[in-house]
Structure 1
Amino acid sequence: MDLRLVWSIMSIPSIVLYYVLGLAFCAFFLLLKWNDLRYRRKGVPPGTMGWPIFGETSGFLKQGPDFMKAKKARYGSIFKTHVLGSPTIICMDPDVNKYILLNESKGLVAGYPESMRTILGDKNIAAVHGALHKHIRGSLVSLVGPAAIRDHLLPKTDQFMRSFLHNWAGQTIDIQEKTKQMAFFVSMKQIVEDVPSSFHEEFKAIFDNIVLGTISLPIKIPGTNYYRGLQTREKVIRILKEILAKRRASSATYDDMLDKLVRHEDVKYKLNDEELIDQIITVLNSGYETVSTTTMMAIKYLHDHPKVLQQLRVIFETSRLATIVNGVLRKAITDVELNGVMIPKGWRVYVYTREINYDPFLYPEPFTFNPSRWLEKGLESHNHQMLFGAGIRMCPGKELGIIKISVFLHYFLTKFRWEEMEGNKIVKFPRVEAPNGLNIRVAEY
């Protein structure tokens, strides 16, 4: 038998394989090139757009700050990408960011991802703009303003925290889970007080799907976080409608937010049921993650830096160093030119504030936990300080969130000493969390 003939026959599959791989590589390259070309516009900053539909979302979520740093090193502080289902301009320029947040009406409106909008609701305060945003914000501010905090919310928060912490001595606990319970339960108590504690626990168990769904890709396929988030939203709406119906059928009055919204007490704008339910879901979601994570990280940092226990401004420094919120999104409703940069209609702008929190010009030794830096006059009101947002979108529950964290830390720090267990790990993107829990051993003073 001719060995050359045998070798030629055996080589055919390999040749076909190489040919197929070569075609696939060319197809992938052309697909990436086509996706970049279709988003090219005069004045749009440089960058890459990744794959059609998915864009660069995978790298953005997996690499987080490293993704941003690599892009900034290559393209500068303003660049384009495609993340979370939308073409997006990422902005790390502090002056431009400040301008965007303070000038919403000039072609830019709130532009949160589709997953967040659909799961929190079309009428949630983060999704609406213009007159409706003004009315809804006014209603919420009246419920969480200084007078409401002093007369109603602070006494309730104080009572809840003392009860919540009373039996922790001698236990080994997951402080991440405990602070999540704290943040969710205290919010539920303030929103609707006439439900048992068992309801709070059941409600939290399903509400966790809302949180995960809001930061997922909007792919409505069973088994995805987005799909579970949408299903959970329907359950939550049914539960809240039942509570609303009972309230309206009862002549009793309650000292909670829901009663004031239903009876329109101390509320300037009357919310319809859709608006009311979306605000309750949004208040629970926003207060849940930020309050619980800031509290957990404060305990983590205080454990690692015990000398600062007696210093002030722990909450501000924790929010800065942990960067619970990495930035905010805006959407262009018309072509917008900003500082020589074109933002096409329909594109989003990600005001990425994380890097500002680590700017050595603003915060010397930025990666050091140093609450005393906030004693410096004017730092809280610095032009680039955006821990709680800015402009008309500044967090309406800022003061209430600080109150919750402060009261918890007051009782925890004055009552207990604690030590961390081994194996704790913190990740800071896309969410600040301890994947395996943050376990501590608690003892009473």
Structure 2
Amino acid sequence: MEVVGMVGLVLGVGICVGLALLMKWNAMRYRRKGLPPGSMGLPFFGETAKFLTQGPTFVKMQRARYGNFFKTHIFGCPTVICMDPGVNRYILLNEGKGLVAGYPPSMRNIIGNKNIAAVHGATHKYIRGSLLSLIAPPVIKDHLLQHVDGLMRSFLHNWDGKTIDIQDKTSEMALLVSYKQMLEIEPALLYEAFKPEFDKLVIGTLAMPINLPGTNYYFGFQGRKNVLKMLRKVIAERRASSATHNDMLGDLLSKEDPKHSLLSDEEILDQIITILYSGYETVSKTTMMSIKYLHDNPKALQQLREEHLAIRKGKNPEDPIRWTEYKSMTFTRAVILETSRLATIVNGVLRETTNDIEVNGYVIPKGWRIYVYTRETNYDPLQYPEPFTFNPWRWLDKSLESQNYCFLFGAGNRVCPGKELGIVKISMFLHHLVTRYRWEEVGDAEIAKFPRVEAPKGLHIKITKY
């Protein structure tokens, strides 16, 4: 037993020494004049595990040690994390000057190398134009608003007396609505097969980049592979048919529309995944957290409900919401913006350097990532007094949404193109929820806010008729 214990001790010491030497060697690899201070962790893995598991705590510890601008190694890439609002704004507004969109290869491989957030230059311009032709405000006004309103009315039908996990319901809603907009007429069986594979894809986007069976990253790859297989089959069937399809995929496949005729099949597929992914994660989590915050803030809930009951006054139950009525939902928009800020649904965005560039007095080498970490800006008391208080009334000042350091939807020429459609979806969900139901939380829900917002054990609510 003593011999076994001694061997175990020697092995343990050997592993610790080996890891320390690897970390020292990795730090020396990235020791270059002009780089910001920081630590790089282990070769290949870097500090990804710490970043994913400790999240804001890890980032704050590094800031306390190195300042607002420090180097690390996450998601397989040497990365500089920037927490300075002024520098972040400069980075976001200066794409093309040595900076482009910078998803790490691990994430691009799952979402797609031709998605709007991964391309730049002329390719980004025509893909963004194609995407905006599907989801821009004029299209929402003329076509999508009524469609989303009808889907939400149907989705929230017959909830009275039920106890539900609102996390599951908002996730189901977000994907279903985006899917129906993209593939309106496809059979229900396709959606039932599609959803679990798409769920795998989503989980894989924020995972350690280890493509081995059993890992989330591997499941993400498998999810993408199966999603693409289903989409290619639908595209082939549509091209073989002379039927007209009045949905987003029908528009993307149209050869008469110059905005879409230049798209390759790979670009079309990645456009589909982009629309589904962006509408899924942000819409579902913002909706869930708005329901949580409204439950905890009765005054805000009452004002929101009064806004929507005023819209319903004089309407029949099946009458749709008009564009002017949507635009009158000023407090609803304020609730959505405050939820996005307080819950921090999106923690930041990545940029990649296309050549050695100087930022904040440091030289960042070509091929590095800069993580524009906007989370802390959301809690800056100079920007948002009492930043940890849910206060949607602050957003009734219209100038707040356009102020220099509001990064909720990005900045520059990469402001989220789906911003308005996302707000429409959440607004329509809340409209039908608060005008038809009340709700109470069941049990105490734990909310995790990093690397993604979620309730690990669910967020259960009991629904009663209003």
- Taking a change above 3 Å as real, the CA distance of residues 336 and 16 of structure 1, as seen in their structure-2 partners, is same
Match runs of 1:59-98 below 5 Å: 59-98=50-89
Q: Please give the secondary structure, in 2, of the residue aligned with 1:263.
A: coil
Q: What residue in structure 2 maps to residue 276 of structure 1?
A: 268
Aligned residue number for residue 424 of structure 1: 445
Displacement after TM superposition at 1:180 (Å): 0.6
Matches within 5 A, 1:29-428: 29-264=20-255, 268-270=259-261, 271-309=263-301, 310=303, 312=331, 313-428=334-449
Helix, strand or coil: the match of 2:401? coil
Describe the shift of the 1:49–1:187 C-alpha distance in structure 2 as closer, same or farther (beyond 3 A). same
User: Which residue of structure 1 lines up, in the alignment, with residue 327 of structure 2?
Assistant: none
Q: 2:103–2:350: 8 Å Cα contact kept in structure 1?
A: yes
Distance of aligned partners of 1:267 and 1:403 in 2 relative to their CA distance in 1, 3 Å threshold: farther
Q: Greater CA radius of gyration, 1 or 2?
A: 1
Distance in 1 separating the partners of 2:11 and 2:64: 36
Q: Per the alignment, do residues 109 and 13 of structure 1 end up closer, same or farther by CA in structure 2, a change over 3 Å counting?
A: same
Name the aligned partner's letter for residue 48 of structure 1: S
Partner Cα separation in structure 1 for residue 153 and residue 4 of structure 2? 73
Supply the AA of the counterpart residue of 2:410.
Answer: G
Across the aligned residues of Structure 1 and Structure 2, the Cα RMSD in angstroms comes to: 1.7
Q: Which runs of 5+ in 1 are unaligned?
A: 1-9
How far off is 1:225 after superposition? 1.4
**For 1:203 and 1:18, how far apart are their aligned partners in 2?**
50
Pair 42,157 (structure 1): closer, same or farther in 2 beyond 3 Å: same
Q: Deviations over 1:266-324 (max 9, x none)?
A: 55242111100111011111110000000000000000111112151100000000000
SS state of the match for residue 211, structure 2?
coil
Task: Quote how far apart the aligned CAs of 1:335 are.
Answer: 0.7
Q: Verify the 8 A CA contact 1:114 1:218 in the aligned structure 2.
A: no
In structure 1, distance between residues paired with 2:164 and 2:176: 17
TM-score calculated relative to the size of structure 1: 0.94
Paired residue type of 1:371: P
The offset of 1:51, in angstroms, is 1.0
Q: CA 1:259 to 1:21, structure 2 compared with 1: closer, same or farther past 3 Å?
A: closer
Counterpart code for 2:399: G
Deviations 1:328-357 (A, max 9, x none): 011112111112021111111100000000
Q: Which amino acid in 1 is paired with 2:183? A: V
Give, in angstroms, the shift of residue 405 of structure 1: 0.5
Q: Which shows bigger deviation, 163-172 or 26-35? A: 26-35
Q: Which amino acid aligns with 1:356?
A: T
Secondary structure of the corresponding residue to residue 351 of structure 1: strand
Structure 2 residue aligned with 1:443? 464
Letter in 2 for 1:153: L
CA distance in 2, matches of 1:436, 1:267: 47
- For 1:198 and 1:213, locate their aligned partners in 2 and report how far apart those are by CA, in whole Å: 24
Between the aligned partners of 2:77 and 2:390, the Cα distance in structure 1 is 35
CA deviation digits over 1:341-380, x for unaligned, max 9? 2111111110000000000000000000000001124101
In 1: Cα distance, 2:362 partner to 2:156 partner: 52
The alignment partner of 2:175 has SS state of helix
Give the distance between the partners of 1:265 and 1:234, measured in 2 at CA.
30
**Cα distance, 1:144–1:25 mapped onto 2, change above 3 Å:** closer
Aligned AA (1:368): T
Q: Secondary structure at the match of 2:70?
A: strand
Range with greater deviation from structure 2 (330-339 or 244-253): 244-253
Deviation at 1:52, TM superposition (A): 1.1
Q: For 2:371, what is the secondary structure of its paired residue?
A: strand
Q: How does the TM-score come out when normalised to structure 2? A: 0.90
Shift of 1:14: 7.0
Asked if structure 1 preserves the Cα contact closer than 8 Å seen for 2:194 and 2:230, the reply is no
Cα deviation digits, residues 18-49 of structure 1 (max 9, x gap): 66555444333222211111101111111111
Whether the aligned pair in 2 keeps the contact of 1:297 and 1:318 (CA below 8 Å) is yes
The answer to whether the 8 A contact 1:424-1:438 is kept is: yes
Partner secondary structure for residue 358 of structure 2? strand
Identity of aligned residues (%): 63
Residue of structure 1 equivalent to 2:323? none
Q: Distance in 1 between matches of 2:16 and 2:10?
A: 10
Partner SS state of residue 242, structure 1? helix
User: CA separation in 1, counterparts of 2:8 and 2:131?
Assistant: 63
Residues 23, 41 of structure 2: 8 Å contact kept = yes
Letter in 2 for 1:174: D
